[in-house]
Amino acid sequence: MTFCPVCGGRLRAGESLCPSCGAEYDAMMRELEGWREESSKKPDRAATATPAQHGRCLECGKEAEEECFFCSASICSKHAYPMRIHSMNVGMGDEVKACFVCAKKMEGTTPSRRDAERVGIYFNVKPYYEWKRV
């Protein structure tokens, strides 16, 4: 099953336009792949740059004010999805911002110990801890 990378709506097999928001699935995925290839070629720049140095939002092309916690993609504040580690419906640690791809991919997954430490949780991560959108 395929989901729209913009709104998360379900796409039927062979659909290239999202019936919910009208986004072009193939174009968005090509743009994302191009960004991933570019960022993998220059890991030092991505690791040391501030969000303003990255340039434009991955989703809409506006000036980026944020950076994705997971992949360091440039995102504007409108397209920065807030996430937090939850345990039994209780939020723990700092809230982080994620791009639309990482928010979909990481929601419901168990955080790594490194991610938990980066958000201020300094004890072992249990299997029932998970990333959730806030």
Going by the DSSP 8-state scheme, the letter that residue 109 receives in this structure is S
Whole-number percent of the chain with pLDDT over 70 = 77
- Cα(131)–Cα(118) distance, integer angstroms: 13
Coil/strand/helix, residue 85: strand
The encoded tokens of residue 37 equal 């290839």
The encoded tokens of residue 87 equal 């345990």
From 12-21, 74-83, 101-110, the region with the lowest mean pLDDT = 12-21
Neighbours of 80 (CB within 10 A): 23
Neighbours of 29 (CB within 10 A): 13
pLDDT tens, 74-88?
A: 899 888 999 999 988
pTM exceeds 0.75 for this model: no
